Amino acid sequence: MLATRSLVRGLQSGFWRRVSTSSAAWAAHTHDVDVIDCSIPQYNNRLDTPLPDVPFVRNLSAEQKKLKEKEKGSWTQLTKEEKLALYRLTHELSYAEMRQGSKEWMTVLGGIFIFLGFTGLLVWWQRIYVYGDVPHTLSEESMAQQTQRMIDMRVNPVHGFSNKWDYEKKQWK
């Protein structure tokens, strides 16, 4: 009984809190996270949707509200800055900004190479300090004896190994 209660208490605190409580309750607890309500139309920057469902800035300050009032009159009365401000109220990114791209790929590629290089160092260390000696049959002398035996046995005489050995001149072709 006590064990399960402490288990629940443990679940409620720390890391598991976010998983175990609803987002509304979570928002009531802390104010660090912006809770996005996905059940209402959201703003989005999309090239194929020029006019998003909602304007970017929903809560207008007093002077922004005044600008919106001025928008109801003739647009020839607006200054260039005011027109730009109106655009930015409704849209976060212009088409040019949406198409911009970034240099993030260089960072990613660089990170990949760094980690590959580090892994290479680890593998090298492992080769030197972890792996034991290779078998003695891979020594020069042993390999020479093995090769000679393969030639004598006529290993793959048609197209392969012994085919490349000239038996008259006793040398490789």
Partner 1 sequence: MFRAALRLSVSGARSLTRTRPQYTASIAARSYSHGKQETDEEFDARWVTYFNKPDIDAWELRKGMNTLIGYDLVPEPKILEAALRACRRLNDLASAIRILEAVKDKSGPHKEIYPYVLQELQPTLSELGIPTPEELGIDKA
Residues at the site binding partner 1, with contacts judged by CB under 8 A:
47-53, 55, 71-72, 74-78, 80, 83-84, 86-87, 89-91, 94-97, 99-100
Report, in Å, the least distance between residue 61 CB and partner 1.
17
What long-range pairs does 166-169 form, CB within 8 A, spacing at least 24?
Answer: none
The smaller minimum CB distance to partner 1, of residues 21 and 71, is found at 71
Report, in Å, the least distance between residue 36 CB and partner 1.
21
The smaller minimum CB distance to partner 1, of residues 5 and 99, is found at 99
H-only helix segments in 36-79: 62-71
Q: How far is Cα 172 from Cα 156, in angstroms, rounded to an integer? A: 15
Q: What is the DSSP letter of 24?
A: H
Report, in Å, the least distance between residue 110 CB and partner 1.
24
Give the angle subtended at the CA of 63 by the CAs of 84 and 74, to the nearest 5°.
55
The smaller minimum CB distance to partner 1, of residues 87 and 167, is found at 87
Distance, first Cα to last Cα, the chain: 86
The smaller minimum CB distance to partner 1, of residues 104 and 140, is found at 104
